[in-house]
Amino acid sequence: MLRLQPGRLFHSNLGKVQHDELIDLPYGTTVFSHLGHAMLLLEPSLDDRMTRIKRNTQIIFPKDAAMVVRRLNLRAGSRVVEAGTGSGALTIALAWAVAPGGRVYSYEIREDHIQVARSNLEKMGLLQHVDLHASSILDGFYQTDVDALVLDLRTPWIFLKQARRALRPGGFFVSLVPTTNQVEQLLRGLEETGFADIAVEEVFVRAYKPVPDRLRPDDTMVGHTVFMLSARPIVDPEDKRRWLSEERKRYEARRILDKRIAEEELKRASQAPAEQKTYPRLP
């Protein structure tokens, strides 16, 4: 990606090009380096903006960021809280979605990460839509009544009370974790803290070789990246279990029944076999 500036020279392994030759050319124009190699002048996409940044952390892939934006229900004008900022890749996608008129409030505990993220956001021309907070979210969020909140850090389940306090009634919550062990902990945390409409998802994108006469999928694809958990806060969470999914309730009912059967079997087994009692059938 290039920011065109008068008088500058673009160097690449295909040769050099003067920025002045490119300024004011329409996107989609073919240009030639001093070695005669052809290059296509293209507008950077959101994917380019997210992936061509300096990284000092694992970053969120564009395929996952697209789903985050959808699950957070973001649009121009939305107010969204994010933690941690990391290198700012997801922040770029969030700012892209809420501009103009919206705001991203991004929290990061490490000052060195904040600096990298700030510089990345500035280069992508999106810093004006973002407030960067250099603090731990263990101390909570400064904002309340936000439309949406996303956690991308190692132990999201310990910050769920803070997240609930920041979200507006009806707000949207998402968290991203790479392992199933974390998913399990986060699911338990969401159930206990008062979140409903809980979903666990993964995003797979399969590209095709764009050959009309021999259309088939690429040989390789990106495998696992993250699990995405989304949920909605319950405003009056007295009876949190009421809003568990039907699947979860069925499992809970079955678990209670299994426990009763196991207890009854243990009781019968411990009684003297000589008694030869007849019992009612176990359920």
Ligand X SMILES: C[S@@+](CC[C@H](N)C(=O)[O-])C[C@H]1O[C@@H](n2cnc3c(N)ncnc32)[C@H](O)[C@@H]1O
Q: Which of 3, 118, 122, 120 is nearest to 52 (CA)?
A: 120
By CB under 6 A, is residue 90 in contact with ligand X?
yes
Beta carbons of 53 and 123 less than 8 angstroms apart:
yes
**Distance, CA of 5 to CA of 147 (rounded, Å):** 38
The CA–CA distances, whole Å, from 45 to 100, 124, 162 equal 18, 11, 34
Tell which positions 141-180 bind ligand X, by CB under 6 A: 152-153
**CA distance from start to end of the chain:** 67
| The one segment of 31-39, 122-130, 135-143, 256-264 that binds ligand X by CB under 6 A | 135-143
**Distance, CA of 172 to CA of 79 (rounded, Å):** 11
Single residue of 113, 118, 164, 232 touching ligand X by CB under 6 A: 113
- Least separation in angstroms between residue 183's CB and ligand X is 16
Judged by CB, which is closer to ligand X: 89, or 198? 89
- Least separation in angstroms between residue 138's CB and ligand X is 5
Q: Which of 206, 83, 202 is nearest to 146 (CA)?
A: 83
Single residue of 99, 132, 137, 149 touching ligand X by CB under 6 A: 137
Q: Which of 136, 133, 165, 126 is nearest to 149 (CA)?
A: 165
Single residue of 17, 89, 97, 167 touching ligand X by CB under 6 A: 89
Tell which positions 44-63 bind ligand X, by CB under 6 A: 57-60
Residue number of the CB closest to ligand X reads 84
**Distance, CA of 176 to CA of 194 (rounded, Å):** 19
Judged by CB, which is closer to ligand X: 113, or 118? 113
- Least separation in angstroms between residue 6's CB and ligand X is 32
Q: Which residues make Cβ contacts (< 8 Å) with residue 253, sequence separation at least 6?
A: none
Judged by CB, which is closer to ligand X: 55, or 248? 55
By CB under 6 A, is residue 64 in contact with ligand X?
no
Q: Strands 38-40, 103-107: parallel, antiparallel or unpaired by DSSP?
A: unpaired
Number of residues that bind ligand X (CB under 6 A): 21
Judged by CB, which is closer to ligand X: 107, or 195? 107
By CB under 6 A, is residue 136 in contact with ligand X?
yes
Beta carbons of 92 and 53 less than 8 angstroms apart:
yes
By CB under 6 A, is residue 95 in contact with ligand X?
no
**DSSP bridge partners of 40:** 30
Judged by CB, which is closer to ligand X: 205, or 253? 205
Judged by CB, which is closer to ligand X: 18, or 135? 135
Taken in order 110, 111, 112, 117, is the CA torsion positive or negative? positive
Question: Where on the chain is the footprint of ligand X (CB under 6 A)?
Answer: 57-60, 83-84, 86-90, 107-110, 113, 136-138, 152-153
